[in-house]
Amino acid sequence: MRRMAEGGFVTHTIERDVFSHQDLDGLINPQVIAVVGASATPGGFGQRTMENLRHFTGRVYGVNPRYDAVEGRPCFPSLDELPEVPDCVIVCVAKPLVLRTLEDAARVGARGAVVYASGFSETGSDGGVVDQEAIAELSQRTGLRVAGPNCVGLTNVASGGAMNFMTDAGAVIEGAAGDIAIVSQSGALGYTVLQGVQRGIGFSHYLASGNSADVDVCDFIAYLAEEPTAKVIICLMEGVKSGARFLQAAQRAEAAGKPLIVYKAGNGEKSGLAAMSHTGTLAGTTAAYAAACERAGAVWVDNLESLTEVASFFAKNPGGPIAPGVGIMSTSGGAGVINADKAEYHDLDLSPLDPSTSRALSEVVPAFGRSATQRT
């Protein structure tokens, strides 16, 4: 397969198309959730997951033969004994039990699964790679869409579905609702951005992919492109296995009028090796990814601190894509000059105000201010 001139990633030959909204709806927007490994042990993944789902508007069942109930939800010995088929199965068990649990989930008719356990391809060991390939094979064979392994989970704010083991993730559900969605390979890094809810930033989704044995960041982007509750998409990634699929997903977001804000980690040689040991992802070159974002109409951000600010800026434009021109409003003449410098540096068009706009402003702007009809 051909690579981009910058030595980055594949520009054609899509191994498979990105999954559709319908393909992933059972995973991301389930009505019925089963938590395999539900537990009353404080701080355990099974207990945290059940606690985080306290605001979920659908139905939750624990699966563990040791309990009749966990966190006020009924608990059953096995998936076969549930009173209804779960849309999504959250797998809180240890690695040796993961594949068997996924087989059970597929057999009972579940549409999606989230796998927390680590020790797969991110280890670089032959055994870990083989075990992850077994999950991929199961997903392809059965149609069960899997997030993970080595995944902290997902959050759907609209449904209250905090399907993860993060500490007090339910607080995100209780925060301000919004229309910014986060897609991240790294669970903890994505969660730091999600904590913007403490600053009043509203989110719609938090979707972590982990090792991406089946569903990856490209699929999540494509899903959100079709999801009405998401208007802006943040993507934090270390790399993708198929550049062509990333372009496909990004172009779907652009076609839907949804800004895609991309931040990529693992850009140096040593950080790239760290990315390989973190999520088992080949990082690729920064130039290749930046070029792909430009080609697909995505917004490339080169520092983490800017992500929420850029996303919030685009979220304030409910009418769709931002027009190429910009305007400046400032209480300081000096600040206005600085902004004009920045606009020119980035080739942004500071067009003259329409005469009718200038006349309207002149009626409300005091004498010591100014509304300019041309650059100053």
Distance CA 33, CA 53 (A): 9
Q: Dihedral of the CA atoms 121, 125, 127, 131 (nearest 10)?
A: 0
Contact 181/64 with Cβ under 8 angstroms? no
Reported as a pLDDT band with limits 50, 70 and 90, residue 93 is: very high
Mean pLDDT of 248-268: 89
Question: Is 300 strand, coil or helix?
Answer: strand
Residues 119, 85: contact at Cβ < 8 Å? no
Sequence-distant (≥ 6) Cβ neighbours of residue 306 within 8 angstroms: none
Q: What is the CA radius of gyration of the chain?
A: 23
pLDDT of 320 above 80 = no
Tens digit of pLDDT for each residue in 333-365?
A: 899 899 889 888 878 888 888 888 888 888 888
Return d(Cα 197, Cα 168) in angstroms, integer: 13
Q: Is the pLDDT of residue 324 over 50?
A: yes
110/248 Cα distance (integer angstroms): 27
Q: Can you tell me the distance from the alpha carbon of 335 to that of 329, in angstroms, rounded to the nearest whole number?
A: 9
pLDDT tops 60 at residue 185: yes
Supply the pLDDT for residue 338. 93
E strands, 136-208, in order? 145-147, 153-156, 161-164, 177-184, 203-208
Distance CA 206, CA 113 (A): 16
Task: For residues 8 and 349, give the distance between their C-alpha atoms in angstroms, rounded to a whole number.
Answer: 31
Mapped onto helix, strand or coil, the DSSP state of residue 67 is coil
Sign of CA dihedral 270, 275, 277, 278: positive
| CA–CA distance, 119 with 131 (Å, rounded to integer) | 9
CATH number, span 21-316: 3.40.50.261
Output the pTM of the full model.
Answer: 0.84
Structure tokens at 280: 């088992």
Question: Percent of the chain, pLDDT > 70?
Answer: 87
For the cut 80, the answer to whether the pLDDT of residue 374 exceeds it is: no
In 3D space, the residue among 220, 238, 245 whose CA is nearest the CA of residue 230 turns out to be 220
Domain ranges of the chain: 21-316, 325-375
**How confident is residue 322, by pLDDT bands cut at 50, 70 and 90?**
low
Task: With cut-offs at 50, 70 and 90, classify the pLDDT of residue 57.
Answer: very high
State mean pLDDT over 91-102. 98
User: Two tokens at 131?
Assistant: 């075990």
In what helix (H) or strand (E) does residue 275 lie, and over which residues does it extend? helix 269-279
Region 146-165 average pLDDT: 95
Residue 54 CA to residue 168 CA, distance in Å, equals: 11
- Helix, strand and coil percent figures for the chain, each rounded to 5: 40, 20, 40
